[in-house]
Amino acid sequence: MSNAQSAGIMTWSAEQCGHMRRALEVAEKGRGQVRPNPLVGCVLVKDGEVIAEGWHDHLGGLHAEQMAIHDAEEKGHNTNGAIAYVTLEPCNHFGRTPPCTEALLWAGISEVIVAHGDPNPLVRGNGVAVLVEAGITVSSGLLEQEASEQMREFLHWCENRRPYVTVKVAIDANGSVDDLAEDSGRFTSTECLEKVHELRRDCCAILVGANTVIRDNPTLTVRLVETERQPLRIVIDPNNRIHPDSKILNDEFSTRHLKDDFRGLDSMLDMLGDLEIQRLMVEGGPTTINHFLEQNLVDEFILVQSSVVHTRPVNTDFDLSSFTNMEQTNWGSEVVKVFTR
């Protein structure tokens, strides 16, 4: 690594930023297909021109660097002396694929620019070290923040061995989560529901409490957007109250019904981490959500506010004082506030 970089005064050109931005962009093509791996993108640049692009497309598929090298070969470009822009430190281990460091060396890449280090204990600095030892110029930290946002759940899981916890809750104009005057059901717009399904698709598991299953009998599947797989569904039901005919217990998708084997949210999150669940969405009722909040287990809180007014409201207070950031957006006709730390 250069001195400038270790002293933290690395400056990057607009051209370099542009190439890394493109690498982050192509990485998105793997979204939903690479879990539990992170999204990774790679751009190869020679004589100022982009000669190839690659991304980690699906679990077990080529890593981004190897796909980019392959892409260059297919297009008839010589990779000798090219610069590789990679959103994650190249791996140096035999996993589902051989090491990317070897592929880069073999391809004659002369410089590697990395956005974010790989916290995987099998890599963690080794990838960069091996490249530097081989005489390649390596620098890191270009668009690091953007990369860390893109790999948020992977980084969180590497650090904590637990899923990143996202809560989603919809309320009416006055903060009510349900209308007891109505049969259970959705009170938000169709566009909003689509967004919720996108969110579900991005989560490895969806959790609700027994009350939600009893009142709504939900399926908790991804239906309105295309998906390769369905999230694992989890019901917390320590007193075994949900009906055996409940939809989530009777379709072809997986459900964990936590009854007498339920020991507490902490140990459940550890268990989900062991299952390589990197993002958990909590979709169920105020009681369940407040348990997560009280135990400080929520990483992201998504509050969806509709303009409808419930006739027999179920008003609930959520204590969001521990969240330090809030971003506001719209999902259809609903106003959405996303609280993070």
- Residues in touch with Zn ion (CB under 5 A): 63, 91, 100
Part in contact with ligand AOF (CB under 6 A); list of ranges 9-17, 61-69, 288-296, 322-330: 61-69
Report in angstroms the alpha-carbon separations of 10 from 7, 45, 185.
8, 20, 53
Residue 267 host element (H or E) = helix 265-274
Q: Which is nearer to Zn ion, 29 or 337 (CB)?
A: 29
Q: Which is nearer to ligand AOF, 91 or 165 (CB)?
A: 91
Residue 71 touches ligand AOF, criterion: CB under 6 A: no
Closest CA to 37 of 132, 119, 125, 139: 119
Q: Which one of ligand AOF, Zn ion, none interacts with residue 120, CB within 5 to 8 A by kind? A: ligand AOF
Q: Which one of ligand AOF, Zn ion, none interacts with residue 84, CB within 5 to 8 A by kind? A: none
8 A C-beta contact, residue 61 and residue 71: no
Residue 91 touches ligand AOF, criterion: CB under 6 A: yes
Cis peptide before 36 (omega within 30 of 0): yes
Report in angstroms the alpha-carbon separations of 94 from 37, 86, 186.
14, 19, 48
SS3 per-residue string spanning 138-202: EEECCCHHHHHHHCHHHHHHHHHCCCEEEEEEEECCCCEEEECCCCCCCCCCHHHHHHHHHHHHC
Residue 221 touches ligand AOF, criterion: CB under 6 A: no
Q: Which one of Zn ion, ligand AOF, none interacts with residue 88, CB within 5 to 8 A by kind? A: ligand AOF
Q: Which residues neighbour 13 within 8 Å (Cβ) at sequence distance 6 or greater? A: none
Closest CA to 203 of 190, 186, 221: 221
Residue 148 touches ligand AOF, criterion: CB under 6 A: no
Q: Which one of Zn ion, ligand AOF, none interacts with residue 196, CB within 5 to 8 A by kind? A: none
Residue 118 touches ligand AOF, criterion: CB under 6 A: yes
Active-site annotation holder among 25, 28, 49, 65? 65
Part in contact with ligand AOF (CB under 6 A); list of ranges 13-21, 90-98, 219-227, 235-243: 90-98
Active site residue 102: no
8 A C-beta contact, residue 125 and residue 117: yes
Among positions 8-37, residues that touch ligand AOF (CB under 6 A) are: 37
Active-site residue set: 65
Binding interface with ligand AOF (CB under 6 A): 37-38, 40, 56, 63-65, 88, 90-91, 95-97, 100, 118, 120, 123
